[in-house]
């Protein structure tokens, strides 16, 4: 279990007692303007729901990102660790990747 420590405005150390969860995998879904229009926003919602029902929060987390400067290949997403990127993906390929890695 990890605890998140931070300094408050009076520079005193605070320890937040909530559990700091580090997932095994993180799926980053670009929802920038180009990717968002090409399915990125829908993919983010679908992947979030899929992760919730098929994986636990400690197994995979889905995070939306802004533009990653790969608009030419929109929509794009990546899964970490492993540095795996998908470009011009179909939603079922992303769900498959979530199960494989
Ligand atoms: S909007 Fe997704 S890479 Fe630019």
CB of 43 within 6 A of ligand 1: the answer is no
Q: At what angle do helices 91-100 and 41-54 cross, to 10 degrees?
A: 30
Indicate which residue's Cα is closest to atom 1 of ligand 1: 32
CB of 29 within 6 A of ligand 1: the answer is no
Q: To which H or E segment does residue 27 belong?
A: strand 25-30
pLDDT in 10s for each residue of the chain, 101 residues: 444 444 444 445 545 557 788 899 999 999 999 999 999 999 999 999 999 999 887 899 999 999 999 999 999 999 999 999 999 999 999 999 998 87
* 23 close to 62: Cβ distance less than 8 angstroms: no
**pTM (predicted TM-score):** 0.81
CB 90: neighbour CB atoms within 10 A? 12
Mapped onto helix, strand or coil, the DSSP state of residue 48 is helix
CA of 20 to the centre of ligand 1 (A): 29
């Amino acid at each position: 279990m990890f605890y998140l420590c931070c300094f408050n405005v009076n520079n005193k150390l605070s320890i937040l007692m909530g559990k700091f969860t580090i997932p095994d995998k993180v799926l980053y879904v670009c929802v920038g303007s180009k990717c968002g229009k090409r399915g990125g926003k829908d993919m983010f919602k679908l992947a979030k729901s899929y992760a919730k029902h098929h994986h636990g929060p400690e197994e995979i987390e889905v995070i939306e990102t802004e533009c990653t400067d790969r608009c030419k290949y929109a929509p794009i997403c990546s899964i970490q660790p492993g540095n795996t990127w998908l470009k011009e993906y179909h939603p079922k390929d992303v769900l498959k990747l979530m199960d494989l890695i």
